[in-house]
Structure 1
Amino acid sequence: MNKKRAWIGMAGFVAGIAVLGTFLLGPGIGNVAGHSAQSLTGVVEGTEVDLSFKMGGSIEQISVAEGDEVKAGQLIATLSSEELLAKKEQAQGAYRLAQVKLEQAKKGVALTDSSSSAQVDQAQAVVASAKAQLEANKNGARQEEIAQLKAKLQAAQTAREIAATNLERMNKLLAEGAIPQVKVEEAQMQMDKAEAELKAADEQLKMAQSGARREQVDAAQAQLDQAKAAYDQAVAGRGQVGLKQLDVQSAEAGVQQAKGALEEIEAYLNNTKLTSPVDGVVKSIAVQKGELVSQGFTVATIQAKADHYVKFYVNEFALGTVKAGDTVKLYVPALNQEVEGKVATIAPAADFAVKKATQELGDRDIRAFAVKVILADANIRPGITVEWGLEGAGFGE
């Protein structure tokens, strides 16, 4: 009996120690790690895009209303663009004028090059001719020309002898009364002509044999010098082609400048149109038609349809059961249905302590890590509560 009481007393003592230990230690590591699955709660979030103009101006049109579904690229609002349209016309005119100047400069190069080439060729021909004339005057007549002049002189001498013989015969006949006086006169004329031709042939032969006179050589040299000067001037004129090419380069730069100004105006005009970059729903519109807005002012906010996600804060003891890329089951109480999600990211560092240590023996901080889960169903609207039943997610409360 005493032994039995002793065992009962010993069991009661051990049980008391266990209860006391549980009370003192509280929900320690073992309690948390062994906790059953509990639901983590989060709220669906989504990407919001604030839309604003790159320039200030007056709102000309608002093409959507709050709550409207929009597609990427759809027009949201426009700014007044009357001034920009006027500037665009000016820029277009300047661009066309620059193109005309460029064409004129190119034609000027072609004409100058063609004219200069023709002048150079002509000057070269004149120089060659002047050189040949000078050489001919310096060297005198050629042997062939002298031979021809000698033959001409011999023929003239023969003709004079024939004319002299004929004149003598006519004088005899006149003395005998066989012919009239007119026949003698005709013979005398033939004689005078033959003597003149003989004298001319003799002078030509002597001139050819003696060479050109000094004044003829000087005149030929002057003509050559003049031809060389004309050639040099023609060659120098080709330098105008280089100057004309500089005009072309300047005109090309003018075209580029005018084109850049036109493209700048067109870019400004494009900036007067505000479009949605994503598919989504118009969450809010912050302006009215006719209102003046500044650059960067938020005109509308688009709630993107894609990339709806939930952030759950998982304690450090349950974090080992989760990894990026996992497919998880989530529960939506408001819709009473399950949806799939995919773990996108796990925070590399803890965000905060989900349970703070007390002064009690054995307590310690239990920290939480943010886990981002992407929803597979894009129709789950932002703001809806979602639950995730994760093993070891509770904290022993």
Structure 2
Amino acid sequence: MKARLILVLCLIAGLIVGGFFLLDKKEAAGKNLLEGQPTAYIEGDESKVSFKLDGRIEELLVDEGDVVKKGQVIGVLQNDELKAKVSQAEAAVSVADGQINEAKAAQSTAVAKTEQGNAAVNVTAETAAKKVAQAEAALKAAEANLEALQNGARPEEIKQAESQMKAAEEIQKVAKDNLERLQTLLEHGLASQADVDKANTTYQEAKGKYEVAKQQYEIAVQGPREEEIKAAKAQVDQAKAAHELAVASQDEVLVRQGEVKAAEAGIKQAAGAVSTAQSGKSQAEAALAEANVYLSYTQLIAPTDGVIKTKAAEVGELVSAGFPVFTLEQAEERYSKFYFPETEISNIQVGDWVQIEVIATGKKLKAKVVSISPAADFAVQKATQNMDDTDIRSFSVKVKYENIPNDVKTGMTVKWLKLLGEHNGN
């Protein structure tokens, strides 16, 4: 009897100790195993892919379920008209280039003509001025010579010519006497032949000067002959003609200067043509760029990596700009949103890693808490009539998956199993 009592007391004590142990273990695990294990489904961001232009679909290069890469062409609109506009714009640019080259060539030609004209005018103007001055001097000399011949020699000029003639005659006489004396001495052997030859040369020079002086005296006394006056008049006429020609050449310089000014105006005109042609090219290039942009709009480009989820149009259909031809599920990140009551949300922190189970396959996934809603979403428990009873509201917790397997599809249901902590994602 006494042994039975002791056994009962031991059992009771063991149950009490075990209860405390289980309670302590449950409290310790409560931070990881929450009271509820909410479910959610796998989601992924979606993009509606549409053309930027109205048009008829010519090609659709992908279908539902196809994997696409960012920048991949996945559809094409009919674009013959836009291609023609691009060709026209390219031709307009080529024409503008030709016009620019022509205008620049004309500008270069005008510049060259102006430079050559300036150089020629500068040289011609200087030469013409010199010729006019020379012609004026020659005309004045000819007119002075004619006037002198027509007026005859003045008395003082006649007297001067007579004096010069007498002086030359006296020099001739002295030279002759010296020559005769030396010839006599040579006959007696008292002088050399060289002395005689030198005296003879001196005599001949003196004789020639005397003849010239004598003729000048006679001309001064008699006056000019008629033929000399005629020759002088001819020289005056010739000088006048030369002077008129020189003045005419100077007038021609003025004409050439006008031509240079016209060439300079041509430079400005050519520069204006170049500017106009360049402006035309800029307009043509802008039209070409615009045509190329619109042509590019006929291609449907995948905005990101992902999987084609839905296709809403077929080849040959007429679609409007902005119509969602494809729905693209982005492949970069997939996530789930779980909802927890406010009584449990304090145990979850952004950055915690979580173990998730795919209900359909039983696979375990790792996910990271990336956000917790800052405000409650809805009530998961309404207050009753009991005293001190209140609503219990829920908060959304968003997790993103790491290395999700290919056989886990968007839309599959998943269950929150437990928290792994902040550093258990590896």
Superposition TM-score tier, normalisation by shorter sequence: 0.5 to 0.7
* Cα distance in 1, alignment partners of residues 297 and 80 from structure 2: 13
Does residue 246 (structure 1) correspond to residue 272 (structure 2)? The answer is yes
Please list the CA deviations of residues 341-383 of structure 1 after superposition, one character each: whole Å capped at 9, or x if unmatched. Answer: 1122222322223333344321233332222111113333111
Matches within 5 A, 1:177-326: 220-221=246-247, 223-326=249-352
* Aligned match of 2:362: 336
Contact 1:343-1:371 at 8 Å conserved across structures? yes
By how many angstroms is 1:317 displaced?
A: 3.6
Aligned pair partner of 2:51 in 46, 50, 53: 53
Contact 1:33-1:318 at 8 Å conserved across structures? no
Contact 1:59-1:290 at 8 Å conserved across structures? yes
Higher relative contact order (CA 8 A, sep 6+): 1
* Cα distance in 2, alignment partners of residues 64 and 310 from structure 1: 28
Query: Secondary structure in 1 aligned to 2:332?
Result: coil
Please list the CA deviations of residues 81-128 of structure 1 after superposition, one character each: whole Å capped at 9, or x if unmatched. Answer: 222222222222222111111111111111111112111211121111
* Aligned match of 2:188: none
Q: TM-score, normalised by structure 1?
A: 0.68
Structure 2: which 5+ runs fail to align?
A: 1-29, 145-218, 220-224, 420-426
Aligned pair partner of 2:98 in 97, 100, 105: 100
By how many angstroms is 1:329 displaced?
A: 1.8
By how many angstroms is 1:36 displaced?
A: 4.8
Poorly superposed stretches of 4+, deviation over 6 Å: 32-35, 198-208, 212-216
Contact 2:113-2:263 at 8 Å conserved across structures? no
Matches within 5 A, 1:84-233: 84-139=82-137, 220-221=246-247, 223-233=249-259
User: % of aligned pairs identical?
Assistant: 33
By how many angstroms is 1:55 displaced?
A: 0.6
- Residue 329 and residue 202 in structure 1: after superposition, are their counterparts in 2 closer, same or farther (change >3 A)? farther
Does residue 350 (structure 1) correspond to residue 373 (structure 2)? The answer is no
* Aligned match of 1:366: 392
* Cα distance in 1, alignment partners of residues 350 and 356 from structure 2: 16
By how many angstroms is 1:225 displaced?
A: 4.3
Please list the CA deviations of residues 219-244 of structure 1 after superposition, one character each: whole Å capped at 9, or x if unmatched. Answer: 64554344134224413421321221
* Cα distance in 2, alignment partners of residues 121 and 324 from structure 1: 87
Does residue 382 (structure 1) correspond to residue 380 (structure 2)? The answer is no
By how many angstroms is 1:318 displaced?
A: 2.9
* Aligned match of 2:206: none
The AA in structure 2 aligned to 1:363 is D
Contact 2:310-2:326 at 8 Å conserved across structures? yes
- Residue 83 and residue 313 in structure 1: after superposition, are their counterparts in 2 closer, same or farther (change >3 A)? same
Structure 1: which 5+ runs fail to align?
A: 1-31, 147-194, 392-397
* Aligned match of 1:171: none
Aligned residue pairs, count: 310
- Residue 34 and residue 260 in structure 1: after superposition, are their counterparts in 2 closer, same or farther (change >3 A)? closer
The AA in structure 2 aligned to 1:111 is T
- Residue 36 and residue 52 in structure 1: after superposition, are their counterparts in 2 closer, same or farther (change >3 A)? closer
The AA in structure 1 aligned to 2:283 is Q
Q: TM-score, normalised by structure 2?
A: 0.63
Q: Which moved more, 1:41-50 or 1:313-322?
A: 313-322
By how many angstroms is 1:289 displaced?
A: 1.6
Query: Secondary structure in 1 aligned to 2:113?
Result: helix
Does residue 70 (structure 1) correspond to residue 68 (structure 2)? The answer is yes
* Aligned match of 2:163: none
Name the larger-Rg structure.
Answer: 2
By how many angstroms is 1:57 displaced?
A: 1.1
Query: Secondary structure in 2 aligned to 1:116?
Result: helix
Contact 1:59-1:291 at 8 Å conserved across structures? yes
C-alpha RMSD of matched pairs (Å): 3.7
Query: Secondary structure in 2 aligned to 1:129?
Result: helix
Query: Secondary structure in 2 aligned to 1:38?
Result: coil
By how many angstroms is 1:207 displaced?
A: 11
By how many angstroms is 1:200 displaced?
A: 8.6
